[in-house]
Structure 1
Amino acid sequence: MAATHPPHIVALLYEAHLRLQDVVAERGRSFDARVRPAHSAVFFHMEHEGIRLGRLAEKAQMTPQAMGELVDDLEELGYLRRVPDPADRRAKLIVFTEQGDAALRVGYSAIDEVERRLAEMLGQDGLDHLNATLMRVIADF
């Protein structure tokens, strides 16, 4: 019988990401069932003063075409709108609508809930250590 090895850390991080994302997405679905988990790429990478589509796609590590479809969805649902970029009137900025701001507040509330649950599970010192470790991984890779 072969010895079993613990899962690779990358697999564990991915699985943890999926589970935490599900908690946040569930809260979002309670706000509006039409919002899909894929839309989180837009909400997460938006810049509140507005952002161009190409920059939004770059931040999310997506193609502009794929990001454009998500932005189109959210614009149709009333969460985003495109406005002229004051720096270049030919270009468009993507900005939140009032409905988008409300959805963002729901998302932040869900994230706060996840962090509260993590603090209960790990203790504040454990959460602080996890935060520092993840920031180090992000900075060093």
Structure 2
Amino acid sequence: MNTVSMLGAAYSLLGFDIVDGVVGSGFPIKPHHSAVFGQIRPEGMRLTDLARGANITPQSMGKIVDELEQLGYVVRTPDPVDRRAKLIKLTKDGAKVAQQGATTIQDIEERLVDLLGERDYRKLRATLVKILSRPEGEG
């Protein structure tokens, strides 16, 4: 398996671990809901900004937000800067989901330290930072 495939597989595996941790706490979410929970700010965000941050189309993000709204995890409110626009905000239950996700991620981080050891864990993080911070257009 090539490196890119391994990184993708690790991402998927860890993503499912996060969802399992949140669902196991009584919050029915799906993996694609992390497109919102992984980036939404406390003050809320416009749908177009959420879509851009998740690297998906606004239409796809709209469907995810519709699902989360039906579950009671987000609401659409008028944007105080531009009343024509809407902000997507977490509800109380949505904030609980986000907190459980953060707790689950912390547990996963601790498991990675146990698996790799502190030195290799830090090296992995430094390597990922290096990969993610490369200038645009460089391969």
Shared fold, TM over 0.5:
yes
In structure 1, what is the Cα distance between the partners aligned to 2:27 and 2:100?
13
| RMSD over aligned Cα atoms | 1.2
Shift of 1:48: 1.8
Unaligned runs of 5+ in 1: 1-6
Matched, 1:75 2:69: yes
Q: Aligned AA for 2:23? A: R
* Residue in 2 that maps onto 1:34: 28
In structure 1, what is the Cα distance between the partners aligned to 2:23 and 2:103?
13
* Residue in 2 that maps onto 1:25: 19
TM-score by length of 1: 0.91
Matched, 1:123 2:117: yes
Q: Percent identity?
A: 39
TM-score by length of 2: 0.92
Shift of 1:32: 3.9
Q: What pairs up with 1:104-119 in 2 under 5 angstroms?
A: 104-119=98-113
Q: Which ranges of 4 or more aligned residues in structure 1 deviate by more than 4 Å?
A: none
Shift of 1:123: 1.2
Q: Aligned AA for 2:42? A: H
In structure 2, what is the Cα distance between the partners aligned to 1:10 and 1:18?
12
* Residue in 2 that maps onto 1:57: 51
1:45-84 deviations in Å (ceiling 9; x for gaps): 2122110000100110001001000001101111000111
Determine helix, strand or coil for the equivalent of 1:48.
Answer: coil
In structure 2, what is the Cα distance between the partners aligned to 1:32 and 1:115?
22
Greater helix share, 1 or 2? 1
In structure 2, what is the Cα distance between the partners aligned to 1:23 and 1:124?
21
Unaligned runs of 5+ in 2: none
Tell me the matched-pair count.
135
